[in-house]
Amino acid sequence: MIGSPTQVIPIFEGPQCAPDATFCWDWFTANWGTLLGPSLVQHIYITLIAVVIGLVISLGAALVAFSRGWFASGFLGFATFLYTIPSLAFFLMFVPITGLSLTTIEIGLTSYTLLLLFRNTLTGLRTVPRSAVEAAEGMGLTPNQILFRIRLPLALPSIMAGIRISVVTVISLATVAASVAPLGLGKPIFDAIHTLFSTELISAGVLTILVALAADVVVVFLQRLVTPWTRTARRTS
């Protein structure tokens, strides 16, 4: 496997570990500070970078696409195509250009966010209630002002829904990326797949799941924070 460590030496510092134990808590605590904790932090920032860059690109593309139908269908087709590429092949494709690096991983991960973020942003911009747009026109706002001051804020629930899906998607795909550049929680997962050390398999696997679940909760919280009106509306209706 490209980029994975040539020799994998799990750290067996937990003295009380039976060799055939399914899960050894001592190993987990002994390796938390040196291996698991840092991998977890790495995993989070790998995800953040990809989603933030993906969001910037998608917002820009959606704003352009809003008034240009040809660009909307073109970009959507392109993003759909990117989305169907098996992730490992995508990461490997950029290795000759950007090497076994974080950049290679981020190119792949960012590409996978585009479909979800672009589609949701565009749908959000397009489905703003007619009454809101008409009220803005009545107040004399220009089309550009309507786009940025009315449509974009009202598209937030849809955009946040897109962010939610792309965050969990990127967390999942980032584990696979570790087979190309050993970063994040995918590194201990791949190490353990080779050594068949079940404590490490379970620790890294469960931590990745916890990161995904926690991220999901955080995004839902942010969603409520930035779109308080959706809850009020639901309560009154």
Binding site for other proteins (CB under 8 A): 1-2, 22-23, 81, 83-90, 92-93, 95-96, 116, 119-120, 123, 126-127, 130, 158, 161-162, 164-165, 168, 171-172, 175-176, 179, 185-186, 189-190, 192-193, 196, 198-199, 201-202, 204-206, 208-209, 212-213, 215-216
Angle at 100 between CA 99 and CA 106, to 5 degrees: 90
The answer to whether 24 and 199 are in contact (CB under 8 A) is: yes
Please report how close the Cβ of residue 186 comes to other proteins at its closest, in angstroms: 7
Please report how close the Cβ of residue 114 comes to other proteins at its closest, in angstroms: 14
The answer to whether 109 and 173 are in contact (CB under 8 A) is: yes
Distance CA 226, CA 230 (A): 10
* Burial letters 187-216, b for 16+ CB under 10 A, else e: bbbbbbbeeebebbbebbeebbeebbeebe
Please report how close the Cβ of residue 206 comes to other proteins at its closest, in angstroms: 7
**Minimum CB distance to other proteins smaller for 140 or for 173:** 173
85 exposure class (CB count in 10 Å sphere: 0-12, 13-18, 19+)? middle
The answer to whether 106 and 133 are in contact (CB under 8 A) is: no
Please report how close the Cβ of residue 237 comes to other proteins at its closest, in angstroms: 15
Please report how close the Cβ of residue 236 comes to other proteins at its closest, in angstroms: 20
**Minimum CB distance to other proteins smaller for 7 or for 22:** 22
